[in-house]
Amino acid sequence: MKIAVGTTRRISLRWRLTLIAWFLVLGTAFVLIVLLHLRTRRQLLQQLEKNLETRCDEVIMVLEGGVSTLTLDQFLIIETRPRQLPYTYFYDIRDAEGRVLGRSRNLGKSELPLPAGWGPADGDAAVRFRTEPDPTSPSGDWIRIRSERVRIAPRVRDPFVVVIQTAVTLGPYDTTVRRTLRDAVLVASGSLSGVLFLLWFVTTRALRPVAAMTREASKINASNLRERLPLAGRRDELDQLAQVLNDMLDRLGASLRQMEQFSSDAAHQLRTPLTRIRGELDLVLRGELSDDSRSQLERVQEEAEHMSRLCGRLLLLARLDQQSRAVGGFDDWVDLDELVSDVTDRVTPVAQDRGIDLRRGAASDASVRGNRPLLVEALLNLLDNAIRFTPQGAAVIVSTSVDNGSVRLSVEDSGPGIPPEERERVFQRFYRCPRGTTTEDGNGLGLPIVMGIAQAHGGRVELAEARCGGSLFHLVLPRRRA
């Protein structure tokens, strides 16, 4: 029997670990990018606002006439003439009554909107920032407007209150922010795929001992419980797991050996009392008896013989389990076709008696190294089983075939077949098909013996459905070269 290794899960542990780690990295990267984006925007905006303030200060200086003799108009023309700068600045300067003192030409016929609530009556100094649609652009760009109400005190005039608005287009700013974001995302996705690969690699490496342990563990089964998982000597979690599994295997092996020993001992111990029973019965049956007693005692005798056979078969099974040398060696060269002929010759008269056509099917030049008497026993058991379930007038076919590494001895019957859900169970000891056609001859050990013999040869028994609906048993033996 094969131990199914958990490969059928939807996502392997390796991928789960990889993906969990990767999503963590992904989340971190996302947060970092968002923070970076917000910070870039704020810094850029602060810089722009600083520029607007500087420009406002220049206007104040011009208005106070402190530094140069430039008029406001001249100043505005100089400041707003087309340059190679990405940013465009607007100026709009009004007095307290709302009369325009100066307005940059690039505003055309538009004006910069005053902040809400800034009427002519208010005279206190104040600064206000707003973002508004660009009045000069039809495409809906945005501008940042700085409005400052300030009291100007020129040396040659009376002080007066003005509202100085400086504004800047935000298009280049948006472009810069977008570009920064795009670059960050590009770099992040590049490194994230790298990280994914790296994580996968690291997890695979970390899980490699587990994979190795799985491989080792799947090699261990009931027939070679002596194998143990190797310890890496690192004293880590995996070593502990291997140790626990090994201890479990020790206990399992011990109880299995005990069980095998028990059935062997039991069968053996039953022999002496059986010998006495049969001997005494034989002697009694030789004497004078009434017909009734005789037939009763003969039935007892039959049962005792049946029990002797059962003991023999149990002992054979126990010996096969224990790989006992009592069953003989496995080094004969056995010509399977010759063996099949021999056995079918032997069985043909019985088959004919029951009206069953026992036929040789395909033959092949197949020979194996093994134990001839045991192989004969296996084939006899298969034929016994086949003949028992085949109705009168139908056929049982024995064939041999060779494929790459193995040799097959196949017995096909024309019985009712065995439903798939029962196929495993027919090899269990003392299992009887619930089909009711069994005669009292069957003792539920025939097929287990066939299986035991196959396994003792390093082979197996396969059960399939024959074309005619009956059962098709394959005794599969490894082909070893001389």
Partner 1 sequence: MRVLLVEDDAKVASFIRRGLVEEGFSVDLSRDGPDAFHQIVHEPYDVVVLDLLIPFMDGFEVLGRARRQGCRVPVLILSAKDGVEDRVRGLNEGADDYLIKPFSFAELTARIRALLRRRSDVEQSTARVGDLEMDLATRRVTRSGRRINLTPKEFSLLWYLASHHGTVVTRTMIAEHVWDQHFDSFTNVIDVYIRYLRSKIDDPFQRKLIHTIRGVGYLLSEDAP
Nearer to partner 1, 97 or 331 (CB): 331
Contact between 293 and partner 1 (CB under 8 A)?
Answer: no
Piece of 84-92, 346-354, 396-404, 405-413 that binds partner 1 (CB under 8 A):
346-354
Out of 66, 123, 230, 279, the only residue in the binding site for partner 1 (CB under 8 A) is 279
How many residues in the shown chain lie near partner 1 by CB under 8 A?
A: 44
Shortest Cβ 283–partner 1 spacing (Å): 5
Residue 383 binds partner 1, judged by CB under 8 A: yes
CB of 466 to partner 1, least distance (A): 21
Residue 289 interacts with partner 1 (CB under 8 A)? Answer: no
Single out the segment in contact with partner 1 by CB under 8 A; choices: 26-34, 53-61, 379-387, 455-463. Answer: 379-387
In the list 14, 41, 278, 429, the residue contacting partner 1 (rule: CB under 8 A) is 278
Residue 414: is it exposed, middle or buried by C-beta count within 10 angstroms (0-12/13-18/19+)? buried
Which of 16, 178, 271, 435: binder of partner 1 (CB under 8 A)? 271
Does residue 426 interact with partner 1 by CB under 8 A?
A: no
Q: Does 314 bind partner 1 (CB under 8 A)?
A: no
Least spacing, CB of residue 389 vs partner 1, in Å: 14
For position 355 contacting partner 1 by CB under 8 A, the verdict is no
275 belongs to the binding site for partner 1 (CB under 8 A): yes
Among residues 349, 434, 436, 482, which is the contact residue for partner 1, using CB under 8 A? 349
User: What is the closest distance, in whole angstroms, from the C-beta atom of residue 424 to partner 1 in the complex?
Assistant: 23
Among 29, 143, 150, 347, binds partner 1 (CB under 8 A): 347
| Minimum gap (Å) between residue 423 Cβ and partner 1 | 22
* Cβ contact 318:267 at 8 Å: yes
Q: Does 272 bind partner 1 (CB under 8 A)?
A: yes
CB nearer to partner 1: give 60 or 304: 304
Cβ neighbours of residue 300 closer than 8 Å, sequence gap 6 or more: 281
Q: Is 221 in the site for partner 1 (CB under 8 A)?
A: no
398 binds partner 1 (CB under 8 A): no
For partner 1, the binding residues (CB under 8 A) are 268, 271-272, 274-280, 282-283, 285-286, 298, 304-305, 308-309, 311-313, 315, 319, 324-328, 345-347, 349-350, 352-353, 373, 376-377, 380-381, 383-384, 446
